Structure formats: structure tokens, C-alpha cells
Homo-oligomer: A and B are copies of this chain.
Amino acid sequence: MLFQVLDYLSVLVFALTGALVASRAQLDVVGFAFFAALTGVGGGTLRDVLLDRNPVFWIADPWYLAVAAGAAVAVFFFAHRLESRYDALQWLDAAALAVAVSAGSGIAASLGEPWPIVVVMGMVTGCMGGLTRDVVANEVPMVLRQGELYVTCAFAGSCVTAALDVFPAALAALACAATVFGLRAGSLALGWRLPVYKAQPKRRE
């Protein structure tokens, strides 16, 4: 029940980001719905396929698709009211990441998976929908942004879920989502970052 709510929320918010990317590519409303659904259910689908959960969550309950389609229609008609679609995209993506990492790591933990799998499933569920969105839309994937925390936020949040395994699932989910969003917000607003690899590259391409 908790994870269903988290999955719904994550589909909704990721779908909004997918539709915003579609608006940057100036697609029609069906294109918006395509990107919304791809982004919304992408990460959770990979999680379910890897964990062999059958049927995949949105095949078991097609209302997830309705949520994604609804988000797409809303963005199609109202995105022009946003002052900066790009800012909206970044912050919505941060919120979606937080919820999806929560849902992904929580589901793996509830299945009794060992902690490395809990961590990876949080990262897969959180990152893969947005990654697919960016690769298909030919945008620079958010995971590749230099000097920003992104995968690191998903990793930290998933570790929180794994560490709080003995506590009630709702508490772990909340702490995980707060960790992910807090780190990502700190990175976007305050420039938090980890040291990056630097070299005098002798590239040959």
C-alpha cells in the first residue's frame, strides 16, 4: 500500500518531467504522453523486470498509465504559464528522484533482498526513467552533469533505506526521500558537490 502510493507519486512527477522534455522538443499531445509514460514507468519497469516481479506494476494496474497520460495533457496545456520550464524540469526531477528511490529501495527491502540489491534497486528505479528520457530526447543526461550531485543522491538515499531496514517501512521511506531531495536541492541551489576527477586529458577522438 505504502509502495503503491510512492509508485503512483513517482510516476506522476516523472511523467511531468517527461512531458516538459516533450514540450522542449515541440511534440504533439500523443508525443507528450509517450515521453510522460516512458519517463514515468521506465525506472520501475526495469526494477520489476530485474527482480522478476510479475506482472510489471503498470500491467497489473493500468491506472498508472492514466496518471502519466493525465500529466502529459496537463503539461501540454499549461506549460506555457511556467516562467522557466527548465527550472521546473530540474526541481520536478529532483522530487521524482526522491520518491522513486524511496519506492525502489523500499520494495527491494520488503522482498528481503540483501542490502547491495536494495541500494542498486533504489538507484535503478530513481535514475533509469530520467536517463531513458534524456537519451531518447537527445538531451545531456542528468547523470552526466559535471559538478552536480545526482547519482550520489540516489545512492545516499538507497543506503538510508538499507540502514533503516529494522524500522517501519514508512519511516525508512520518508528518511530516504528526505535524504535524496535534500542532497539534490543542496546541489542545485547551493552548489554542493563531491570532488570530481580531474586530469590533463590527452584525448584522441
Question: Chain A: residues with CB nearer than 8 A to chain B?
Answer: 22-34, 37, 45, 49-52, 54-56, 59, 62, 65-66, 76, 79-80, 83-87, 113-114, 116-117, 120, 123, 127, 131, 135-138, 140-141, 143-144, 146, 149-152, 155, 193-205
**A24 proximity list for chain B (CB < 8 A):** 201, 203
A46 to chain B, nearest CB (A): 10
A32 to B114, CA, bound (A): 23
A26 to B203, CA, bound (A): 13
Q: A24-B201, A34-B151 are in contact. List 7 more A-B contacts (CB 8 A).
A: A29-B197, A30-B155, A62-B116, A66-B116, A84-B204, A86-B203, A137-B144
Q: Known: A116-B62, A143-B31. Is A84-B202 also a contact (CB below 8 A)?
A: yes
User: Contact: B143 with A136, CB < 8 Å?
Assistant: yes
User: Contact: A85 with B32, CB < 8 Å?
Assistant: no
**A116 proximity list for chain B (CB < 8 A):** 62, 65-66
User: Contact: A197 with B76, CB < 8 Å?
Assistant: yes
Q: Known: A50-B45, A146-B27, A152-B31. Is A65-B120 also a contact (CB below 8 A)?
A: yes
User: Contact: B120 with A37, CB < 8 Å?
Assistant: yes
User: Contact: A30 with B84, CB < 8 Å?
Assistant: no
User: Contact: B25 with A146, CB < 8 Å?
Assistant: yes
User: Contact: A28 with B199, CB < 8 Å?
Assistant: no
**8 shortest A-B CB distances, which residue pairs?**
A62-B116, A28-B194, A30-B152, A34-B151, A80-B199, A23-B197, A86-B204, A28-B196
A42 to chain B, nearest CB (A): 12
**A31 proximity list for chain B (CB < 8 A):** 143-144, 150-152
A65 to B62, CA, bound (A): 33
**A135 proximity list for chain B (CB < 8 A):** 135-136
